Amino acid sequence: MKHKIEGDVMQILSFELDPSDEIYAESGAMSWMSDNVGMESYVRGGIGAGIGRMFTGESFFMVKFKSAGGKGMVSFAPSFPGKILPFQISPEREVICQKDSFLAAEISVELTTIFKKKLGVDLFGGEGFLLQKLSGNGMAFVEVDGEVFEMELKKGEKLKVDTGSIAMFEPTVQYDIQMVKGVKNMLWYPALCSSR
């Protein structure tokens, strides 16, 4: 399966599918496809997983795409201007991302919802309460609104970040919400990210 990401402000993700290739995406993400590519809506992971996806802003249904009779082509566009990021997912490289950021993946990649249980994250976490985890094996593609800046935390390093500015992180990063002291700061609850 070949893929390419094109564009600057509003990027497009295109796949060239062999008959043995199968990908899935959020319902409504497809922009165009060749006539020989078939679509099938389904509830990936069962009803519970579908409900969990709805809480993260994704669709209850996912859509499978498969080519029939030779090579096929299908393209996807993100919801907002920003970047499409490719990830080679494996048991050694899983990714946790903000809600509503999943775009498409190979059928062998799992998309699950993570509920943060801590009260601070629940009430004040903004993007933080519901997250998505990509695991399994294969290529996955995430859409991030706006620009992307990557930061690498050294072991034991901590960083305070506005919750709306965190796009994704690896499972080795601990993520929590803390209140900033001072009356003027009472409505700002940054995330505290630390490397294990």
Identify the burial level of 181 via C-beta atoms within 10 angstroms of its C-beta, where 0-12 means exposed, 13-18 middle and 19 or more buried.
Answer: exposed
Q: Is 128 in a helix, a strand, or coil? A: helix
> pLDDT 10s digit of each residue in the chain, 196 long?
899 999 988 899 999 999 999 999 988 889 999 999 999 988 876 677 766 666 666 677 889 999 998 999 999 998 888 899 999 999 999 999 887 889 999 999 999 888 765 545 444 444 446 788 999 999 999 999 888 888 888 888 888 887 778 888 888 888 776 666 655 554 444 455 666 6
Strand-pair partners of 169:
96
Q: What is the pLDDT of residue 48?
A: 72
Q: What is the pLDDT of residue 125?
A: 46
Q: What is the pLDDT of residue 121?
A: 46
CA 13 to chain centroid, in Å, comes to 14
Walk me through the domains of the chain, giving residue ranges and CATH numbers: 2-145+152-190 (3.60.160.10)
User: Residue 79 is encoded by which pair of tokens?
Assistant: 């919801």
CB 141 within 8 A of CB 103: yes
Q: What is the pLDDT of residue 188?
A: 46
Strand-pair partners of 160:
192
